[in-house]
A and B are shown apart, each in its own frame.
Chain A
Amino acid sequence: MLSSEEISVILLTLKVALTSTILTLPLAIWLGWILARKNFIGKFLVEGLVNIPLVAPPVVTGYLLLILLGKNGIIGNWLYETMGIKLAFNFAALIIASVVVSLPLAVRSTKSAFELVDPNYEKASSSLGASKTGTFFRVYLPLAFPGILSGAVLAFARSLGEFGATISFAGNIFGKTQTIALNVYSNMQIPGKEMQVTRLVIISLIISLIAIIASEYLNKKKKYFIR
């Protein structure tokens, strides 16, 4: 059976993954849409910035977040001084780190989903009297929906396993910022905690596996859906 400590860690992890997915999704839809369908100056730069956390070591991402949003960071200092908002080493930091590292995966998925939608549907929709916004909500969004959902699942899975950026930016505070990955890491170094580590590893693997299977299923459905 799981101990109360393990349950608390699992619940916090799920809470972080869920919250960050919900926050990532609208951003990913918007970025995926403009990257797939719009041409603008600096498009490559936006695409590069979004994708940096995918290739940069997560610890580097966490460090950059600390520099930007930490109490003494460029933006973080201003937020703290003017509004008393602290963004590092707390639940907000967990969410921010999670959103930043999972955003590229979600954007890649939504972007490819929007790219797969035949732009001629826009012509058809417009000829029937729909505005661009109407076409987006009635044609593009439903047709890209499986891809968007698949992006959400990937973002959720990425949040579950997030370690490097989190430990750098949110810390490893039990009951506050310690997720499954951080708990496993901490307990690995304590003799006699092998069983707890094993249990959390298995649970972590099961959740990840379910997420990946769901993502693959939705990806297949996406191609079928837009035929």
Chain B
Amino acid sequence: MIIKFESVEYTLGNNHFYYDFEINSSLTGIFGASGAGKTTLFNLLSGVDLPVKGKIKLDNEILVDIDQNHVTQGKNRNIGYVFQENHLFPHLSVKKNLLYSKPYIKNKIKYISFEDVVSLLDINPLLNKKPRQLSGGERQRVAIGRALLSQPRLLLLDEPFSNVDCSKRKQIISYLLRINNHFQIPMVIISHHLEDILKLTRKIVIIENGKSTASGDVFNIIKSGDKPELIKPKKYQNTFTVAFNNYNKIENSYKVLFNKNTEIKISNHSKLLNKTIETGTKIQLSLRPIDIALSIDKHEGTSIQNQLKGTVKQIINNIEGVFCVVDCGFELFVEISQGIINNLYLHEGQEIYCQIKASDFDLVHVFIDNERKEKLNDLNLKRHEALEIAVNH
């Protein structure tokens, strides 16, 4: 989905906001410090607030064009909004919260079913509880489910990780990837933690002091010379979607394929993997730049299980550290030091081995959706019908 803000201006008290960007992704991250204007961007996109100038477009549809005096009302934009504080209705049970939008979706094609949402987000045991009886993570899941059941064409999530602890963050990330994959619904996620966003997507919009200062693939932003100060290369996460290959019983490790030629071993810390997983199942991994070591030669007799041959593509040396981009058939962002450059005589175009421990890969999500694969085609069909109807209207 293409989201386009054209010279959009908004004023709230003494604060002035300006957004100008275009991004095309099924998962987009909005990154910025607290109070930078991320939620304001959501409010403008969802129709909670109206800009004073500019144009907002979603794919080919103009939502707001102040010059042409055109405004699509928020409730007609068909955008789901998960608020930072959830705002689950306290007097209603989880089930009634989930079904809140039911009277208002009579004219919409329902491509997201109650049963699917309850099953995907593991809400079933919570259905009869009241929101005050839920933990932060559970509330977040219910809020996401409630927004999904309003059958939106786009889902906005404002700081979905803010009210949950670290372990639950991983869980929420996994749920978001599951939803995005299963319903094929575009999502925009606000966070002030770059690491969290990067586990979901590399496509981001950066907001600083009420302005959008950069947008696009964060890797390209980092590689470019004029990256915003807010983007710290140390916080970058190499994220990959790989395919499960096999389980090695003797080594108790899992092998995954990056591409046809590259197989790597990962260990399973998060218990997301199991031995019965099907070959070819998609897995999302992340890897910190600091967890990759470089060597000139391939080592024998080492405990490091992955040695990937690649070529140094770029060396980035700035105030925040020394980094290099290695092309192994896919690009890896590696944190090194000036000493290493000197010792290894590192230069662009040099052949090198990336040494990665199997345990250093962070398993973000396993896309186990086999049982729902048949449904998916039907779902996509319904979704396309829904979109066609929305466009025709």
Contacts and interface: CB of A to CB of B under 8 A. Distances in A.
B101 interface: yes
B91 A124 contact: no
A127 B91 contact: no
A130 interface: yes
B89 interface: yes
Interface in A91-134: 118, 120-121, 123-131, 134
A129 B105 contact: yes
A127 B81 contact: yes
Most buried by A among B48, B88, B100, B105: B100
A142 to B, nearest CB: 5
A139 interface: yes
Interface residues of B, number: 23
Given A129-B75, A129-B150, A131-B75, A124 B104 contact: no
A143 interface: yes
Interface in B7-58: 46, 48
Contacts of A120: 83, 85, 87
Contacts of A129: 75, 101, 104-105, 150
A128 B104 contact: yes
Contacts of B186: none
Contacts of A125: 89, 100
Contacts of A225: 90-91
B43 to A, nearest CB: 9
A68 to B, nearest CB: 40
A38 interface: no
A45 to B, nearest CB: 28
Secondary structure at chain A's binding surface: helix, strand, loop or mixed?
helix
Nearest to B131: A227
Contacts of A143: 89-91
Interface string B85-119: 10111110000000011011100000000000000
Contact of A127 (B74, B89, B105): B74
A138 B147 CA distance: 17
A226 interface: yes
Nearest to A139: B89
Given A143-B90, A143-B91, A225-B91, A123 B83 contact: yes
Given A123-B48, A227-B132, A128 B150 contact: yes
Interface string A132-176: 001000110011000000000000000000000000000000000
A218 to B, nearest CB: 14
B310 interface: no
A142 B105 CA distance: 22
B347 to A, nearest CB: 53
A106 B71 CA distance: 40
A176 to B, nearest CB: 44
Interface of B: 46, 48, 74-75, 79-81, 83, 85, 87-91, 100-101, 103-105, 132, 146-147, 150
Given A138-B100, A226-B91, 6 more contacts: A120-B85, A124-B83, A126-B74, A127-B81, A128-B146, A143-B91
6 contacts: A123-B81, A127-B83, A128-B100, A129-B75, A130-B101, A143-B89
The 5 residue pairs across chains A and B that have the minimum distance between CB atoms: A129-B104, A124-B87, A127-B81, A128-B101, A142-B91
